[in-house]
Amino acid sequence: MSFASTGNRPQFKQYEFVKLAEIVDWINIMSYDQHVPNHSEWNAVTGLNSSLYSNPNEPEPEEVVKHFNVAFICQEMIRLGVPKAKLNAGFPFYGKGYSDVPSINNGLFQEYKGISNQGTWTPGIFDYWDLKAHFVNKNGFVKYWDEYAQVPWLYSKDTATFITYDDEKSI
């Protein structure tokens, strides 16, 4: 038996993780959708969907920079008393697209207007197969790699579109 847990540290206080770990085989951490194009306080600029580690250059509030990454979330669960063997980190095999993103820093950590008008089935959301077939170093999109966060992103200067996603290497 397992359960899906938030990957949002401020919500951890709502769970009794040690007690839950006693009755489940593992805890599936939803360690994705850390940055989405919704113009909230924590998503004022483009960001990475599921960073393995934090990027100290990220201009978001300190809580976002330090706490919204897979390594921190897993370490925090362990600190709270969850056995390592019971943790299962979830990674997204899809992308989230932002629109009207300036070409500064290849679109990373930049202001944006909204979600991308492109997408696999709906605007702003891309299945991995579609990214690989039509966007990764294709059709004006260039793949970049964040050495701190250990994840890729795509950017097109032509369409001013930023796409955050995970691939085989980052997973």
Residue 59: how many other CB atoms lie within 10 Å? 12
Q: Which residues, in sequence order, are bridge partners of residue 55?
A: none
Taking the domain 94-165, which CATH number applies? 3.10.50.10
- What's the pLDDT at 8? 74
- What's the pLDDT at 151? 96
Tell me the pTM.
Answer: 0.91
Model confidence over 7-53: pLDDT tens digits? 777 777 778 888 989 999 999 988 888 777 777 776 789 999 998 99
Residue ranges matching CATH 3.10.50.10 in the chain: 94-165
Model confidence over 152-171: pLDDT tens digits? 999 999 999 999 999 999 98
| Helix%, strand%, coil% for the chain, nearest 5 | 25, 25, 50
- Please say whether the beta carbons of 51 and 34 come within 8 A: yes
